[in-house]
Every structure is written in C-alpha cells, then in structure tokens.
Amino acid sequence: MNGADADQTANTVAVPEGVDAELLMKVLRNPEMTALLTSLAKSLN
C-alpha cells in the first residue's frame, strides 16, 4: 500500500445508516464546524 492509500484508509469512517454522508462531508470540510463538533464530542465523554 502506498502513502496515498494509507492516508485515505486512515481518514475513512463508517457512516451509520440514516446519516447523509454527503451532507456530513460538507459540514466537516468547514474547519469551524469541525472544531465545534470535536469540542462537543469531547464534552460528552
């Protein structure tokens, strides 16, 4: 496996049924939304 394949595999997630994967990707491309969701997830732990 070359480096590009390894990077892509490392960034792959399973999207649960009922979740719009395309919409999720649009949200996660926004750095502010990614930071907000990361902060929220950490506060739930």
* pLDDT tier at 29, thresholds 50, 70, 90: very high
* pLDDT tier at 4, thresholds 50, 70, 90: low
* pLDDT tier at 3, thresholds 50, 70, 90: low
* pLDDT tier at 38, thresholds 50, 70, 90: very high
Helix (H, G, I), strand (E, B) or coil at 44: helix
Instruction: Kindly list the domain boundaries of the chain, sorted by start residue.
Output: 15-45
Asked whether the whole model's pTM tops 0.95, one would answer no
CA distance 37 to 33: 6
Length of the chain counted residue by residue: 45
* pLDDT tier at 13, thresholds 50, 70, 90: confident
